[in-house]
Chain A
Amino acid sequence: MVADGNIKLEVEGLSLSFGSVMALIDVSFRAREGEILALIGPNGAGKTSLLNCISGFYHPRHGQVRFNGLEINRVSPSRRAKLGISRTFQNIELYKGLTALDNLMAARHVFIKYGPVAGSIFFGKARKEEIENRSIVEEIIDLLELAEARHRVVESLAYGLRKRVDLGRALALEPKLLLLDEPMAGMNVEEKEDMARFILDIQELKHIPIIIVEHDMGVVMDISHRVVVLDFGTKIAEGSPQEIKRNEKVISAYLGKANQSGERAK
């Protein structure tokens, strides 16, 4: 399980603060083609903030994000989406009034070229593009077993299914880098196994870097090639899952947190 593909993402010396809270302090790491990189750390460590910096939603105070060798610090989130940076959200940020199908179709936005006039007439080119993109979306629906949700408004879907639609939407963007923020949080064992299977399928199919934030160490050990550990905004360790399991700093970071509060990670 060694990933030796090209480097796709480089994060260098990233720092971010909210008032007096230092969310990220001088964080650097790289992600390669075809690898599943787990990003772990206790609650409030800065994992989501790091993903937000990569997808352009937060602006780091210092440091750089490079994607495909291109510095993207000043690139807007929607342009980053066009570059192929796609993600899911910790708290499922779907378009709740749309069906699962339309949520996925909405993520085809950057690939659909027709304009408002063609859209209003909905004939010829527009219809053709809709059908082409629909069949791509249908492949994702098959892959993630979303058929039962297809024509249902996502608001009405069960939590686990919504998490899957969120993943489906991220896939519909044809990602070249996929960021998953706690895709299995709040799921039962069976749902977690399904999700892990989907993530491995995606990795095999797409051969892109996948960065996954996850608290369940069992899952992290099972599916990730490499692990980056954050604590209080700083990177305290990086390495293979086996190395991380034995790392003193990591153990004490988690134990320290466990003593302070009920711990989520095992």
Chain B
Amino acid sequence: MWRPCGIFDDTYEKDISIVRTLPQQVLTITGLIALLFLPQLLGAGRITTVNLIGISVVSIMGLNILIGLTGQISLGHSAFMGVGAYTLVMLMNHLGFSFWLALPFSVLSAGLIGLLFGLPSLRIKGFYLAMATLAAQFLIPWIIVHVRPDLTGGTSTLNIAAPSILGFTFDSQVRIYYLVTFFAVASIVLTRNLQRSKIGRAFVAIRDNDLAAEIMGVEIFRYKLLSFFICSLYAGLAGALWAVWMGAINVDSFTLHESIWYLGMIIVGGLGSVPGAVFGVIFIRALEPFSHYIGPPIASYFPDAIGAAIKSGISPFVFGLVILVFLIYEPRGLGHRWEIFKHFYRRWPFSY
């Protein structure tokens, strides 16, 4: 039991809980308080990016369940976020739903569409499944643009009203921060729980050995679909938050490009690790501003034409480089580094 030396569990109840020791409790509470004052600490200017990170955390929690725990794959995650976002806006703008009333529908509809595109997983695995889910990434935006452009706005942008609760309106990035952070923290807690539950174990059983899982009583089909469903529920929630964050939606926000960035976050974070996934999101989302920061100085060494190409192309270039480095040098991701750090701390001062 990797606990600080000398601490043992006297009941199973304690052994299965996540926050166990006093330092852990103190750390958790300090962290939550820090989150509460983050806008003041960072300054309002950076909160837009922080909000994007929060939304991505919600999204990645779902994808981590599908890829990290269940061993399936989805290249349509961003499209499922689009389903959530568009359902929200359609209900709010055309049927006059409030944000809070529309939210469950938008989450659920993304879940169901995700489940639908997960159906091929019952027959195919790996590369072929990736291709099948890629279909979602092309079909869903196509449907948004072409089927009812009078409702969805086609390729143009639709605005939505800021949600409010008890007279408090989420109409600035700092205010939206609290909405996003609430859902991000909730998503982390819920998925962390799911992971250690019966369902999480069944998912990992399917990932590690689907034949044995079936022989040990896991209904593989049902649990694969459940994984796609849950994954897309989180995508739907993230999509709805995205719409609030932007104050508007456009089909261009839900591209294959975004889906691949989510995969990158999973790779950087490490498969199946909840803290790793959070690190992965922060790392990848911080890469974009970082690239813009290092782009111009690098470009200044080159002639104008090449320099311009470097400035515009540096972000995907750095992304690709980072993914390669992680795949080669740390395929288990930042989550694994985090585990090593924790073990080190917990055994201290007896390092062996």
A interface, CB within 8 angstroms of B: 55-57, 76-78, 80-82, 86-87, 89, 93-98, 102, 105-110, 112, 114-116, 118-122, 126-127, 129-131, 134-135, 138, 151, 169, 173
Contact = CB atoms under 8 A, between A and B. Distances in A.
Contact of A106 (B194, B205, B272): B205
B280 interface: no
Contact size class for B?
Answer: 35 or more
Contact of B213 (A82, A95, A105, A127): A95
A119 B216 contact: no
A56 B190 CA distance: 35
A55 to B, nearest CB: 5
B209 A94 contact: yes
B29 interface: no
B147 interface: no
B325 interface: no
A95 B2 contact: no
Interface stretch (B217-225, B259-267, B291-299): B217-225
B198 A114 contact: yes
Contacts of A56: 215
B64 to A, nearest CB: 14
Nearest to A102: B201
A11 to B, nearest CB: 18
A120 B194 contact: yes
A98 B208 CA distance: 9
A78 B209 contact: no
Contact of B16 (A55, A115, A130): A130
Nearest to A101: B15
A26 B76 CA distance: 50
Given A87-B215, A118-B197, 9 more contacts: A77-B215, A86-B216, A98-B204, A106-B213, A109-B202, A109-B205, A121-B190, A134-B12, A151-B1
A93 B217 contact: no
Interface of B: 1-2, 12-13, 15-16, 190-191, 193-194, 196-202, 204-205, 207-209, 211-220, 226, 230, 272
Contact of A93 (B2, B211, B230, B272): B211
Contacts of A112: 198
B190 A93 contact: no
Contacts of A86: 216
B272 to A, nearest CB: 7
Nearest to A150: B1
B327 to A, nearest CB: 18
Contacts of A105: 201
A148 to B, nearest CB: 11
Contacts of B197: 114, 116, 118-120, 122, 126, 130
Given A119-B194, A151-B2, A57 B211 contact: yes
Interface centre among B15, B215, B218 (most CB of A within 10 A): B215
Nearest to A106: B201
Report, nearest first, the 9 A-B pairs whose CB atoms are least far apart. Answer: A119-B197, A81-B217, A122-B193, A93-B212, A95-B208, A110-B217, A120-B190, A106-B201, A112-B198
B257 to A, nearest CB: 30
B12 A107 contact: no
Interface centre among A56, A119, A138 (most CB of B within 10 A): A119
Nearest to B71: A97
A120 to B, nearest CB: 4
B212 A89 contact: yes
Contacts of B202: 106, 109
B202 to A, nearest CB: 6
21 contacts: A76-B214, A78-B220, A81-B216, A81-B217, A93-B212, A97-B204, A98-B201, A98-B204, A98-B205, A107-B217, A116-B199, A116-B230, A118-B197, A119-B193, A119-B194, A119-B198, A119-B200, A121-B190, A127-B13, A129-B198, A169-B216
A96 B218 CA distance: 16
A226 B39 CA distance: 74
Contacts of B214: 57, 76-78
Contacts of A96: 208-209
A81 B194 CA distance: 23
Contacts of A97: 204, 207-208, 272
Interface centre among B1, B12, B13, B216 (most CB of A within 10 A): B216
A78 B1 contact: no
A115 to B, nearest CB: 8
Contacts of A55: 215
Nearest to A122: B193
Contacts of B15: 134
